[in-house]
Amino acid sequence: MKVLEVKALSFTYEDGTPALKEIDLTIEEGEKVAVIGPNGAGKSTLLHLVAGFRTPFHGSVRVMEEGLDERTADQVRRHIGLLFQDPDDQIFMPTVEEDVAFGPVNLSLDRVEDRVARALRSTSIEDLAKRKPHRLSHGMKKRVAIAGVLAMEPSLLLLDEPTAGLDPHSRSSLIELLRNMSKTMLIATHDLEAAAEIVDRVVLLNGGVAFDGGLAELMTQDAVLEKAGLEPPQISKLFKRLRGMGYEANILPVTLDQGVAEAVRFADREKGRSRDRKT
Ligand SMILES: Nc1ncnc2c1ncn2[C@@H]1O[C@H](COP(=O)(O)OP(=O)(O)OP(=O)(O)O)[C@@H](O)[C@H]1O
Ligand SMILES: [Mg+2]
């Protein structure tokens, strides 16, 4: 089933700033996709449009096979959980647990307590439940906002820069959480190393859709990377350099695990060579 189908989507802000031009994007159920691109490429705008927060636009957006327009926006929004880039845009209740419960209560969803408990647990913020969210640090607010989105158990998760501003431990646990979550998600991010761990597919916005496919494949397209000002993950850079020295990887690693697997393969090959030389 197509959870999201975007066709020829163009959008210009009221002040005349063009933000999206002729975007096509389809996401099947269970797929995890990252939308990447330089500052101002339109990543946040795309997420807000898909979430039904900005109409009208040119082109078409379908969520769970329902067409999105001014008339249907309220209904379509029920399928979607959007994490805003800035958690201050999302957090407003007096306590963390009330904030996380806000979405489910507002939409009269069932099992509110259970949803809140699960969301607090999966974002590891159970101990913050009674705290005032506006007094928390940026990273903690981010986790509260993520918990609020998860509590809605949406069909489509839209996450705008989920790892930005998190400390290394929180970032790793969020990556782990998103990687293990069997949910359809679209993540806007600059964090390619996180994207490599979480998603199977990346969509690069730079003008229109400049690339749609695997991150490893994108990392080999130097001209596209340069035009979009993208830096490959460190591990990909390492293997690009090694390739220049005659070590050709099967695929260009984009995660540490893939890098380790390739390094072991290189080492085994070297061992084989030295054995051959001895015999
Ligand atoms: N409320 C607004 N009014 C007018 N222009 C806007 C508004 N919000 C965004 N824009 C413009 O739309 C374009 C796309 O912005 P958007 O925030 O979607 O980019 P982005 O890819 O999310 O960037 P970043 O990586 O900095 O988060 C930019 O030119 C931006 O200046
Ligand atoms: Mg943005």
- CB-CB contact of 159 with 188 (8 Å): yes
Mean pLDDT of 170-186: 91
Rounded CA-CA distance 94/58 in Å is 39
Provide the CA 169 distance to its chain's centre, in angstroms: 18
Cβ–ligand 1 contact at 41 (below 6 Å): yes
Rounded CA-CA distance 137/90 in Å is 14
Residue pLDDT, tens place only, 1-58: 999 999 999 999 999 999 999 999 999 999 999 999 999 999 999 999 999 999 899 9
pLDDT of the residue at 167: 87
Residue pLDDT, tens place only, 100-136: 999 999 989 999 999 999 999 988 899 999 999 999 9
Least confident of 131-135, 255-259, 264-268, 270-274: 270-274
Structure tokens at 210: 């400049």
**pLDDT band per the 50, 70, 90 thresholds, residue 276:** confident
Cβ–ligand 1 contact at 13 (below 6 Å): yes
Cβ–ligand 1 contact at 189 (below 6 Å): no
DSSP state of 250: S
Number of the ligand 1 atom closest to the C-alpha atom of 46:
18
- CB-CB contact of 81 with 156 (8 Å): yes
Q: What is the pTM of this model?
A: 0.92
Which stretches does DSSP call E strand in the chain?
A: 2-12, 18-28, 32-36, 58-63, 66-67, 80-83, 156-160, 184-188, 201-206, 208-213
In what side-by-side order are the strands of the sheet with 208-213? 80-83, 156-160, 184-188, 32-36, 201-206, 208-213
Residue having the nearest C-alpha atom to atom 9 of ligand 1 = 45
pLDDT of the residue at 73: 94
Provide the CA 83 distance to its chain's centre, in angstroms: 10
Please identify which residue in the block is written with the tokens 């407003």: 92
List beta partners, residue 2. Answer: 28
Å from CA of 40 to ligand 2 middle: 7
Rounded CA-CA distance 183/157 in Å is 7
How high does pLDDT run on average in the chain?
93
Model confidence at 138: pLDDT above 90: no
Å from CA of 20 to ligand 1 middle: 10
Å from CA of 204 to ligand 2 middle: 13
Residue pLDDT, tens place only, 222-256: 999 999 999 899 999 999 999 888 888 888 999 99
Mean pLDDT of 207-211: 94
Rounded CA-CA distance 88/262 in Å is 42
- For 199: left if phi > 0, alpha if psi spans -120 to 50, otherwise beta; the answer is beta
Provide the CA 80 distance to its chain's centre, in angstroms: 14
DSSP state of 180: H
Domains and CATH numbers, the chain: 2-215 (3.40.50.300), 233-279 (no CATH)
Rounded CA-CA distance 122/35 in Å is 24
For the beta carbon of residue 23, count every other beta carbon within 10 angstroms: 23
Model confidence at 278: pLDDT above 80: no
pLDDT of the residue at 166: 86
H or E segment and range at residue 17: none
Which ligand is in closest contact with the Cα of 84?
2
Model confidence at 185: pLDDT above 90: yes
Half-sphere exposure of 69 (CA within 13 A, CB side): 5
pLDDT of the residue at 277: 77
